[in-house]
Amino acid sequence: MCGIVGYIGKNKAKSILVAGIKKLEYRGYDSSGLAVIEDGVILCKKAVGRISELEKVLDGNCDESNIGIIHTRWATHGAPTYKNAHPHVDCANKIALVHNGIIENYNYLKTKLQKNGHILKSETDTEVIVHFIESYYEGNLEDAVRNALKEIEGAYGLAIIHLDEPEKLVAARHGSPLIIGIGNEEYFVTSDVSAIIEYTKNVVYLDDGELVVLTKDSMKTTDIDSLPISKRIEEIQWDVNQVQKSGYEHFMLKEIYEQPQTLRDTMLGRFTTDNSVVRLGGLQDKCELLRSINRSVIVACGTSWHAGLIGEYMLEELMGMPVEVEYASEFRYRDPIIEKNTMIIAISQSGETADTLAAIREAKRKGAVVLAICNVVGSSIARESDCGIFLHAGPEIGVASTKAFTSQIVSLFLLTMHLRQISGKATDLDKELVKKLKEVPSQVQSIFNNDKKIKEISRIYKDSSNILYLGRGYNYPVALEGALKLKEISYIHAEGYPAAEMKHGPIALVDKNMPVVFIATKDATYSKILSNIEEIRARGGKVIAIASEGDSEISKMVEHVLYIPETVDALTPILSVIPLQLLSYHMAVMRGCDVDKPRNLAKSVTVE
């Protein structure tokens, strides 16, 4: 999820571009760059790190131009390095381009371009686009862009300039947001309105398959086949601060609601069209190695450790592989047993958690293969692992992890399917499982319809001192996760437990003041969990149940029911966690807590 700003108009471009991109830094901040047309050349300046690094490079440069593009990167393909930073240019240094999105067929396109003599310098998917535009350019930039985009599969929001047409800026959109700002003798292009709202509130939202040609006095919008399209000019109602959160009060709520999209992004480009093969770029040359693995140890912390427990159930149920899940902080100090065919799976959103990083170093010292599941490309854990899977979930700003957790589950599911395929265990069931996985994002979307009811339940229990979360099987780690969410943002003490374990002591806690959240979806242990609910009710506990749609039985037994769609057991956690994320969010807001930056916590625990 990168940030893009383009400008063409009566004013100097650089200050507008830099001020705008700084407002998008929350979208991605591992590298950045700017390109303008000045003194008859394309000037392209880049820097690794925060945008302040780019500002140093721009000092005294690029001050004269009235046209330019700028980009802040959230790496998906290729580490955050100078050569991977955008803008990317063609062989002749006459075209500059910035991109937000993921090109699925870039490997094939890169090979085709190189066969035709193009020199590509970066590891990014983006670079193939600017070289295709170059190969189609015959004096008209928008025509070249249209032809190039017909070769591209994937998601893009693009802004492009050409040295030979300095009075023109072309932008195109498919799958990634792109907005045109309309000023007085000036136009803006951006991936996020917060970048331009101080200059204009009059905008046009491009739709998929649309392309726009801007000059300082005109805007022409067409489809990919150059058919003119008329677009409605809208006025933005938000202020700058609201806009970065897309109108949500907190980043956490925005990230909860982003999950249908981020789940799709995690899956994007990772299946063949007939759902028969899972393609994981980060594992493609590791098949022999992975086939030799006969045991896995998952190391992680916090929410990622909960995802690891779900991964354990998946790998054991669907792959028949013995798996242990360890707190990274424990694993690193207990001289763990690592055999020749042991794989360590390190799960970390930030890729910088000190204990998890230390755990993989200890595992590598003992000769283990390390596979990382991370959200941040170029992070320490990603770089020090032998192979891995990136979440592609975009930056997670809220300290409480939400979208990363559900994307971790998808990534573990993809890994399990991949291991089944390369070990010859795949059957017709696998295509069915992939189909079920592809249904999940819209199922998550449907759960948001319960938000009003979740808020009402939150209001009833927001002053509780303690809350229990209980689940069985795949829903036991969800009980742990729901309790952690509540603890870390509302400061209410909460505990997650295997439902059957209550009888071995903790049920002594239960009385009429003890709300208990049961994740009680229809699975193999459903009848057992109904008995557990009866045990709690018999002691006066108030029960909130997360249940499967259509389950009218459970509603007779409990105070509140929140329904979720049914799916296969291994994917149920993605759905059953959503109401728990919202429950914790609303209680925290009602208690006046700082939801995005809870007390005592950091987004990435880079100390022991």
Q: Please report whether residue 358 would count as binding ligand AGP according to CB under 6 A.
A: no
Q: Could you tell me the smallest distance in angstroms from the CB atom of residue 328 to ligand AGP?
A: 8
Question: Which residue type does 420 have?
Answer: R
- Determine the Cα–Cα distance for residues 109 and 546; give it in Å rounded to an integer: 46
Instruction: Kindly indicate which of the ranges 75-83, 135-143, 362-370, 393-401 contains the residues binding ligand AGP, using the contact rule CB under 6 A.
Output: 393-401
Element (H, E) at 270: none
Residue 353 engages ligand AGP in binding (rule: CB under 6 A): yes
Question: Which pair of structure tokens corresponds to residue 470?
Answer: 């209980």
Number of neighbouring beta carbons within 10 Å of residue 531: 10
Short-list 75, 80, 81, 130, CA closest to 100? 75
Name the residue nearer to ligand AGP (CB basis): 356 or 521.
Answer: 356
399 binds ligand AGP (CB under 6 A): yes
Q: Are strands 369-374 and 387-390 parallel, antiparallel or unpaired?
A: parallel
Q: Are 68 and 36 in contact (CB under 8 A)?
A: yes
Q: Answer yes or no whether residue 401 interacts with ligand AGP by CB under 6 A.
A: yes
Region near ligand AGP per CB under 6 A, out of 56-64, 296-304, 424-432, 519-527? 296-304
Residue 87 DSSP symbol: P
CA atoms within 13 A on the CB side of 22: 12
Amino acid symbol at 513: N
Q: Assess 605 for contact with ligand AGP (CB under 6 A).
A: yes
Residue 370 C-beta: closest distance to ligand AGP, Å: 14
411 in contact with ligand AGP (CB under 6 A): no
Site for ligand AGP in 445-504 (CB under 6 A): 488
Interface with ligand AGP in residues 229-248 (CB under 6 A) = none
| Residue owning tokens 């140890």 | 297
Does position 304 bind ligand AGP by CB under 6 A?
yes
Q: What CA dihedral angle connects 420, 425, 429 and 432, to 10 degrees?
A: 30
Rounded to whole angstroms, how far apart are CA atoms 125 and 272? Answer: 19
Q: Which amino acid is at 116?
A: N
Which residue number places its CB atom closest to ligand AGP?
302
Quick one: 65 or 303, whose CB is closer to ligand AGP?
Answer: 303
Please report where in the chains the tokens 């990167």 appear, as a residue.
73
- Spatial distance between the Cα atoms of 394 and 403, rounded to a whole number of angstroms: 9
Q: Which position among 84, 303, 443, 525 is part of the footprint of ligand AGP (CB under 6 A)?
A: 303
* Interface stretch with ligand AGP, choices 14-22, 53-61, 192-200, 398-406 (CB under 6 A): 398-406
Smallest distance, Å, CB 375 to ligand AGP? 8
Of these, 76, 221, 342, 356, which contacts ligand AGP (CB under 6 A)? Answer: 356
- The token pair at 67 is 């046209």
Classify the phi-psi angles of 351: left when phi > 0, otherwise alpha if psi is within -120 to 50, otherwise beta. Answer: left
**Nearer to ligand AGP (CB atom), residue 31 or residue 401:** 401
> What is the bridge-based pairing of β-strands 179-182 and 186-190?
antiparallel
DSSP-assigned states of every residue in 443-505: HHHHHGGGHHHHHHHHHHHTT-SEEEEEE-TTHHHHHHHHHHHHHHHH--EEEEEEGGGGGGT
Output the smallest distance, CB 264 to ligand AGP, in A.
21
Least distance (Å) between residue 520 CB and ligand AGP: 24
**Closer to ligand AGP at the Cβ: 165 or 396?**
396
Among 256, 297, 301, 309, binds ligand AGP (CB under 6 A): 301
Interface with ligand AGP in residues 333-352 (CB under 6 A):
348-350
321 counts as binding ligand AGP under rule CB under 6 A:
no
Interface with ligand AGP, residue 354, by CB under 6 A: no
Which residues, 6+ apart, have CB-to-CB distance to 401 below 8 Å?
302, 303, 304, 349
Binding range to ligand AGP, per CB under 6 A, among 110-118, 189-197, 315-323, 396-404: 396-404
Q: C-beta of 164: minimal distance to ligand AGP in Å?
A: 46
**Catalytic residue positions, numbered:** 2, 603
If the CB atoms of residues 533 and 574 are measured against ligand AGP, the closer one turns out to be: 574
Point out which residues bind ligand AGP (CB under 6 A).
301-304, 348-350, 353, 356, 399-401, 488, 604-605
